[in-house]
Amino acid sequence: MLKQGIKAILASSLLLIGGSGLAQTESSMPIYKLAAGLRVGDYHTGTVKYFFSDLMAVEGSIGFSFLGMPKMSVFVEKFHEDMFMPNFHLFYGAGLNFRARREWVYDNSYGYSYNGRYETRYFVGPSIIGGVEYDFSEMLNFPVAASADVRLGLDFPSAFFYPSPGVAVRYILK
């Protein structure tokens, strides 16, 4: 059942994000095809971004929080043409995240008590992302892109909503 839910969320993301992009004429802007790097924020992750068309990309990330809790995310992103200056892009998207969180659980087996323990709980849910990216390849004569984004996630089964700002630097592979 979880696998079907994941497929449904990713398919919906593709339709919502991609629908507007497919109706537009694609630009001939020089966007890279594949880049990999690191993202620093509340979770530190390795990240890979792959453009499957001029303005549409898939981004995947996997990493850990400060407390060593794992997190994985997959996003489908829609890019806009150059904004304000060449190689500066606004993007937004939607996707799915999986993460673990340590929570304090009170031990109430003997009545009201301050005794308890930490438990690791696992969550899955939809996320949205928005941010800006700049491709420094022409300026630095080195294939690197940097982005700043905010990811808003909703965890299930707890219905916990959380923002996740971060900054990423990626080496452009091709």
What pTM was estimated for this model as a whole? Answer: 0.73
Instruction: Tell me the per-residue pLDDT of 146-165, one tens digit each, with 9 for 90 and over.
Output: 999 999 988 888 777 888 89
Name which residue leads in pLDDT, 27 or 152. 152
Q: What angle do CA 102, 107, 113 make, to 5 degrees?
A: 120
Instruction: Tell me the per-residue pLDDT of 35-57, one tens digit each, with 9 for 90 and over.
Output: 999 999 888 999 999 998 888 99
What's the pLDDT band for 59 if we cut at 50, 70, 90?
very high
CA pair distance 162, 174, nearest whole angstrom: 34
So where are the chain's domains?
2-22+34-172
What's the pLDDT band for 115 if we cut at 50, 70, 90?
low
CA pair distance 120, 106, nearest whole angstrom: 14
Question: Would you state the pLDDT for residue 20?
Answer: 41
Q: Nearest CA to 126 among 13, 19, 1, 2?
A: 13
What's the pLDDT band for 108 if we cut at 50, 70, 90?
low
**Domain 2-22+34-172, CATH number (from 3.40.50.10360, 3.40.190.80, 1.10.1020.10, 2.40.160.20):** 2.40.160.20
Q: Tell me the DSSP string of 75-132.
A: EEEEE-S-BSBTTEEEEEEEEEEEEEEEEEEE--BTBS-S-EEEEEEEEEEEEEEEEE
CA pair distance 27, 99, nearest whole angstrom: 36
Residue type, 104: W
Listed in sequence order, the residues at least 6 apart from 154 whose beta carbon sits closer than 8 Å to its beta carbon are: 125, 126, 127, 160, 161
Question: Would you state the pLDDT for residue 86?
Answer: 85
* Burial class for 82, CB neighbours closer than 10 Å (0-12, 13-18, 19+): middle
